[in-house]
Amino acid sequence: MNAKPQAPNPKTVLVTGATGYIGGRLVPRLLEAGHTVKVLVRTPAKISGVPWLEHVEVIQSSLDDDAALREALAGVDVLYYLVHSMATGAGFESKEKAMAETAATAAAGAGVGRIVFLGGLHPVNADLSTHMRSREAVGKVFLDCPVDAIVFQAGVVIGSGSASFEMIRHLSETLPVMPAPSWVRNKIEAIAVRDVLHYLAGAASLEGPVDRTFDIGSRQVLSYAGMMQEYAAEAGLPRRWVLALPVPAPKLAGLWVALVTPIPLSMSLPLVESLQHDAVSREHDIDALIPLPEGGLTAYRRAVALALGKERDGQVETTWASAGADADPLPSDPDWAGHRVYVDERTYTSGVDPKHVWTILEGIGGRNGWYSLPLAWRVRGWLDKLTGGAGLLRGRRHPHLLAEGEVVDWWRAERIDRGRLLRLRAEMRAPGRAWLELSVEPEGTGSRYRQRAIFFPKGLSGRLYWLAVLPFHSLIFPAMSRNITAAARNLEHLESEPGGRTP
């Protein structure tokens, strides 16, 4: 861990949402400040590759298990509640409120000194979207409970890998002239993710009862159209012209965002609905308790520059897609009995060292591509986006390194046996469950590469789907195995040259 100024009064903290975008970045900052950190996660494998893992206590549980939560909170001074969902539909608000009430009750019973929650900026007495209304209700649960609470209210969070940044980036880069609903004129006060983390980390050390909300932002107010134009200027794009039409059209805009950005429809709709009102700080009272970050708050364009730089240099800590929903893992082969399963398997033996093949496998997807017929992959990605799926736009957090639980385009890394096996679980729309398994093992003086596409069809539609994609497989998979091996061979040659190095 990097040496940082220590907090004046170190605490024991429990972070929920450590597999998410904010939580995964907050944990190392709390450790750097000298706090003792516990993390509560449903699936520990999702944090198996993080650099701070050995410095925290990992507790496997969920927020709806009252007894386990109360046990996890034993000896905890501060609870960071950073769990929420972008889901929509019946029961969404009541479920989020019930989970918050469970956490508040457990915290009070365990003698926790403070709850810290991150909500959203919103106007008073407005007809809020489902998402923002739920955020407000959760904050109220904590403010009304016996435990002291600090509820931060932030606007659009700008940082490498954030959903809001990806939405702005892809919208800005897609069209030079874009018709848009009237809400693109609304006033927005963004905030850099580094400043959000500054306030969150600072809340742990505050003395005395606080028990209130605080608005946090950059103190720079733009319109949403202005943010896209500023992004284009920072990214070196020609000026973007955003034409505000006299209609709100949140659902249509949500569909458009889902098509042209990596954000799936389940997230784009609530994000767009949250933009229907101005989101500007009404007060700056937090300044009296937590000093401004060193060098001051980050201006919007500077936040964009930092985010672009992190992505360019492969230093993205977390992404919005890292916190995807859990799914059942691939059953091991002996358990396939009783399942209808289709498998497309390819092997390729070569004289290439297995370590170089693994380097290519771990870096697959994103900007590195899939090593066969890029157009075919893009077409399949667009078809997936049109049906509300993930598509290929999500990319990957780092161009060469991968951890379990991370996203790779429309896949998620389900299992990594480093140096040997990578198993990807599909998150595209399909009538069944699909995996892509890539592995390498030594063979003689070289290696044996193996790839398996595995599909568990659902009903007749699943069987017909497999038949429909067989021509696609027959084109891409043989070429994929050859090209991956060829890329590994090129890498081996590059490393053997004087001054050569691996990615």
pLDDT tens digits for range 45-75: 778 778 899 999 999 988 888 888 999 999 9
Does position 23 have pLDDT exceeding 60, yes or no?
Answer: yes
Give the pLDDT of residue 392.
75
CA max distance for the chain:
72
Tell me the pLDDT tens digit for each residue of 108-136.
Answer: 999 999 999 999 998 887 788 888 888 89
Give the pLDDT of residue 330.
44
Question: Which contiguous run of DSSP H or E holds residue 5?
Answer: none
**High-pLDDT (> 70) share of the chain, %:** 90
Give the pLDDT of residue 321.
62
Give Cβ neighbours of residue 287 (< 8 Å, ≥ 6 apart).
Answer: none
**Rounded Cα–Cα distance for residues 284 and 216 (Å):** 7
Residue 396, beta-bridge partner list = 408
- Tell which residue, 121, 120, 124, 117, has the closest CA to residue 143: 117
Hey, how many other C-beta atoms are within 10 angstroms of the C-beta on 466? 22
More confident: 353 or 459 = 353
pTM higher than 0.75: no
Tell me the pLDDT tens digit for each residue of 89-109.
Answer: 556 778 889 999 999 999 999
Does position 337 have pLDDT exceeding 50, yes or no?
Answer: no
- Tell which residue, 214, 204, 202, 196, has the closest CA to residue 76: 204
Give the pLDDT of residue 4.
53
- 173-182, 353-362, 398-407, range with the lowest pLDDT: 173-182
Q: Please report how the helices 265-273 and 130-144 are oriented relative to each other, as an axis angle in degrees rounded to 10.
A: 70
Determine the number of helices (DSSP H) and then strands (DSSP E) in the chain: 13, 19
- Tell which residue, 122, 140, 148, 310, has the closest CA to residue 217: 122
Q: What's the mean pLDDT in 132-149?
A: 94
**Rounded Cα–Cα distance for residues 217 and 502 (Å):** 41
Q: What's the mean pLDDT in 455-459?
A: 81
